[in-house]
Amino acid sequence: MASLQFEVEHETAGPALALAPLIRRYIGYRYTGLCPGTHLGLPSPDLTVVLSLGPQTRLASMPDPRQRPRAFDALVGGLHTSPAVLAFDGEMFGIELDMTPRGARSLLGLPAGELGSTVVSLEEIVGRPVRSMLEALVEAGTWPERFSLLDRFLSHRLDRLQPARPELEAAWRLLVGSGGTRRVSWIAREVGWGRRHLHESFIAEFGLSPKELARVTRFHWSKEMLRRDPGSSLAGVAAACGYYDQSHLTRDWNRLAGGTPSRWLRTDELSFVQDETDTAVPGLTA
């Protein structure tokens, strides 16, 4: 029997200007002719929204172990410190949105901390308009058309909830903007709060502690470096991303990705898909 021809569509774009503080980017993808397998949804400083335009997004394992496996037409996932496992068959077709915590407040009407590390149906939060939005996205013929539809849909949802306290937004920017290398005590002093108050308020607002976010941010940028150049020296990546040494990087990878960087590059079915966008350090844009 002849094997299916493998085909890739992968398109990225920034949102409309008014949405830029809320959505970092749109990622459109369509992979056909895939052999059945799995893909790791790894921790990052962004919340993740996935809109399925073909087969449902099937999570075989959740970041929060208390959640059972589930398939979604549209999902939103909070910040997390362990991977999700996505199972796929022959096709994946959809759009991923990288959403900032401010985006969760403005567009979803809730702080990221309310989601915690869970993954939930977007329709449970936004309601029935999600269904008509998905139908319109499927009918659109090109990625620019789909991204334009998303701009219009999201622009009607602005300002559902006021931004977080300025001190929390500043703490987020300082921590993520440093690539996760700033000490929490320094950040607390910069925003004028005690360390304990910052810790408790940070978890309530974002779902992670400052230390957890720092770890996730360092990990995220090490992953992006390896994605762009899989042949990079791990010692060099560790130094560039603020780790003490290569062993420190490997420990964090085992904790956050469930394995080493080398294993991820070798076994993740979709790690070959290169993101050619200019990935500036994500922050909570004021």
Q: Residue range 254-263: average pLDDT?
A: 94
Q: Look at residue 272 and tell me whether its pLDDT is greater than 60.
A: no
Q: CA 243 to CA 17: how far, in whole Å?
A: 35
pLDDT confidence bin for 6, thresholds 50/70/90: confident
**For position 276, what pLDDT does the model report?**
44
Q: CA 230 to CA 237: how far, in whole Å?
A: 11
**For position 267, what pLDDT does the model report?**
82
CA distances for 131 relative to 23, 73, 282, angstroms: 20, 9, 29
**For position 34, what pLDDT does the model report?**
87
Pairing type for strands 57-61 and 84-88 reads antiparallel
| Percent of the chain predicted with pLDDT > 70 | 92
| pLDDT 10s digits, 49-67 | 999 999 999 999 999 999 9
Q: CA 277 to CA 96: how far, in whole Å?
A: 14
Residue 147 makes CB contacts below 8 A (sequence gap 6+) with 13, 15, 26, 28, 95
Domains and CATH numbers, the chain: 7-155 (2.60.120.10), 166-267 (1.10.10.60)
pLDDT confidence bin for 252, thresholds 50/70/90: very high
pLDDT confidence bin for 3, thresholds 50/70/90: low
| pLDDT 10s digits, 166-221 | 999 999 999 999 999 999 999 999 999 999 999 999 999 999 999 999 999 999 99
| Percent of the chain predicted with pLDDT > 90 | 86
- Better pLDDT: 108 or 274: 108
**For position 26, what pLDDT does the model report?**
98
